[in-house]
Structure 1
Amino acid sequence: MQESLLTIVSAKLSAPEIFSQAYKEMKHNHPELTRMNIVVCVDELLVSYFLTDELKETNIDDNSTIVPINRNNSRLVPRIIASEINNEHTGELSMTLYERGHRGRFIYPVVIAGEIKGYIFINSSEPQYFSGVNHDNFEVYCDQLSRVILNTCYQRAQITTALNIMLSMGRERDPETNEHLLRMAQYTNVIARKLAKKNNISDDFIYQMTAYAPMHDIGKFKVEDNILFSTKSFTDEERKLMNHHVNYGLDIVNKIRFLFCNEMKSEYCVLSNIICSHHERFDGKGYPNKLKGKNIPLESRIVAIADVFDALLSKRKYKSAWSLSEVKKYMIDNSGLMFDPDCVSALIECIDELSQIHTNLIDPVDVC
């Protein structure tokens, strides 16, 4: 079992693929297993891989009913927990697990750079299943899985560091602020989570969209100053040159494509789709490829509506900020035209939350 699991975790697969195959292998050798859930703290979000339950993303909460994963984890002592789940537990999570037939649990802390950054939860149908030899075996299994998590975190850190260096170069010229980029990440996360309730959207996909949404206009810093900073209406030729920032963005990403190893290929697709297609329109009248409807990648549709929402709500030297009611009407009027109707519905449902994000991350006075 340990040898076959080692083969799986060594494969050139994405983390979710490895976790899924690893669980199937463990389940084959231990039929008593009923559930595995891997929860990792990434950029202050809990990214969960439920392999036998519905995927759900939860914002970090110091009073989480799962297990506290917070900014104080440097004070926590990593320890493995193997215990029984019974009907005497009063916690909401324990009661839910018990009601679903889970009787034993094994909790393994994922430690990165000396801090607890996640947990691997495994449940069984037998109360004391994770004692004795099984305890030792599952400690080895979880150690191998935690190495996959560690490797994924390091790979993502390399990619985001390279992209952030490029973004910082662009911000020296581009009027878009750091606050705009932070808002884009948060808008995208909120809208994606709202859509996830009705669609099969994984935590990992939501994380990727959230992480790469701020890179949507990374190619703008290669646009000439007289166009980038213009407050006048563009001529046809100037509009063509401005629109070319999409191609510049793809050129930039392709220069660091070597960082996206085989197991990170899905992340490259998400990033490149966001850059290339967030100016496409649902009615097919956008650019650069005039994609239409659901042919536009979901991540691009979400970032598109988030970007326009922020642009309308923000004050600039050449325009006044729109009121929230005006922005809401614009979104509804352009549902099915500029925007995916599902994305519009999701945005309207959480528009107050999005507006609060804008308020909390307001632009500096000299930009307005």
Structure 2
Amino acid sequence: MSPNPQRLLSGLSQHADTLTQRLQTLHQHLLDTVPAVDRIACALYDAQEDTLKTFINSTRAGRAISGYEYKLSDSQALSALARSGEFRVLDDIAQMVQSNTGHAQWLREQGYRSSFTVPLYDGGQLQGFVFFDSLQTGAFSPEVQRDLVLYSNLIGMAIASEFAAVRSVLEATRVARELAEVRDFETGAHLERMARYSRVIALAVALHFGLNDEFVESVYLFSSLHDIGKIGIPDKVLLKPGKLDAAERVVMEGHVDKGVQIIDRIVGTGAHQRLPDSTVLRNIVHCHHEYLDGSGYPRGLRGDAVPVEARIVTVADIFDALTALRPYKQVWTPQAALGELDRMVAAGQLDPACVRAVHEHLPEILAIRERYNDEPA
């Protein structure tokens, strides 16, 4: 029985669900026609870093791989697929995959015997790969491959649609920032560092908090919008070189609520949302100045009431604010900045797991800081 494209596309476009949930629904449909597919997974390609990163999966048997990254250029086979647009069938993984990469070892540990890999493109650019795996040897006949290419196209369309919505939101906020001529805190380098610091922290704490790769990617995409509300703050307050007085502090703190209002205008609410799931975005914008001890603003949230995504972005933001070059302050050394983060953990303000992630991944953090610095080339 051939798959019904209209039924599948309808299932993949349910905006109430995450991409992971929609992929799981599609997997259930797929099992009606190809019951041997035990896993479907999609890896995204980051062209800037030449890196493949795990994203969404539906896994019926075995342990899902997550938080895994791999340089595309380090894989001759996948690089060739990316260039050619062709598919790859491995009828006997144990015999055909001899490498010792983390992914290859994981495949063998799970007992997968055969696989089918399809590259995904969006606007002619490599988007990533879809992997189909089976516990059976030789599960992917030419007839099965034909059906799975259709499924791959639907998966690619769903991801491209979601990311197009994300890009439109990011572009709208970029234009808003430029129209407001907000420059001091919103350098391109700062936004890039914020996103990549936040992703490092999110990956490090994912297991601790039970987060999946789709959540990590959402934090990465939306962390740069945390201070979008500052476009509504008057320059005399926003650009003041010295300490703010009490009245000015109230005005400055208003950027959080202004940010939520801006996001709601751009993203929409209810049935008119432009993003299928904008909860992570709203939480980052609304809660990135909340502290676990209730001393933050605007709502004085405490403990578990502060969303994990906001805790992650708060730590990334403070580290960058301390270590970045600014005309109105000295640059803190990374070690001094870590000391300040530790002090705030001891005071009950910051999440210890998020700060520990900065300690444990400091070389990666510093590499990001070096690559995306504020100084002119």
Q: Normalising by the residue count of structure 1, what TM-score does the alignment of the two structures yield?
A: 0.88
- CA–CA separation in structure 2 for the residues paired with 1:10 and 1:300: 28
Match of 2:291 in 1: 281
- CA–CA separation in structure 1 for the residues paired with 2:138 and 2:272: 41
Match of 1:9 in 2: 12
Residue identity over aligned pairs, in percent, reads: 25
1:281-317 deviations in Å (ceiling 9; x for gaps): 1110110000011211111111111111111113433
Match of 2:192 among 182, 194, 208: 182
CA gap of 1:246–1:255, structure 2 versus 1, over 3 A, is same
- CA–CA separation in structure 2 for the residues paired with 1:106 and 1:139: 10
Match of 1:20 in 2: 24
1:139-192 deviations in Å (ceiling 9; x for gaps): 222232222222223222222221222233345454542221111111111111
Match of 2:369 in 1: 358
Match of 2:139 in 1: 129
Extract unaligned runs of 5+ from structure 1: none
- CA–CA separation in structure 2 for the residues paired with 1:273 and 1:154: 21
Work out whether residues 175 and 229 of structure 1, in 8 Å CA contact, stay in contact via their aligned partners in 2. Answer: no
RMSD between aligned residues: 2.7
Aligned residue type for 1:40 = L
CA gap of 1:27–1:358, structure 2 versus 1, over 3 A, is same
1:103-126 deviations in Å (ceiling 9; x for gaps): 221222212222332221111222
Work out whether residues 288 and 313 of structure 2, in 8 Å CA contact, stay in contact via their aligned partners in 1. Answer: yes
SS in 2 for 1:19: helix
Work out whether residues 171 and 177 of structure 1, in 8 Å CA contact, stay in contact via their aligned partners in 2. Answer: no
Does residue 91 of structure 1 match 2:99? yes
Does residue 249 of structure 1 match 2:249? no
After superposing the two structures, state which structure 1 stretch, 288-297 or 132-141, moved more. Answer: 132-141
Q: Normalising by the residue count of structure 2, what TM-score does the alignment of the two structures yield?
A: 0.86
Work out whether residues 177 and 228 of structure 2, in 8 Å CA contact, stay in contact via their aligned partners in 1. Answer: yes
CA gap of 1:142–1:311, structure 2 versus 1, over 3 A, is closer
Work out whether residues 282 and 291 of structure 1, in 8 Å CA contact, stay in contact via their aligned partners in 2. Answer: yes
After superposing the two structures, state which structure 1 stretch, 286-295 or 308-317, moved more. Answer: 308-317
Match of 2:84 in 1: 77
- CA–CA separation in structure 2 for the residues paired with 1:7 and 1:175: 42
- CA–CA separation in structure 1 for the residues paired with 2:318 and 2:40: 39
CA gap of 1:177–1:140, structure 2 versus 1, over 3 A, is closer
- CA–CA separation in structure 2 for the residues paired with 1:352 and 1:83: 37
Match of 1:119 in 2: 129
CA gap of 1:219–1:10, structure 2 versus 1, over 3 A, is closer
Deviation at 1:245? 0.9
- CA–CA separation in structure 1 for the residues paired with 2:341 and 2:190: 19
CA gap of 1:154–1:131, structure 2 versus 1, over 3 A, is same
Alignment length, in residue pairs? 361
CA gap of 1:311–1:130, structure 2 versus 1, over 3 A, is same
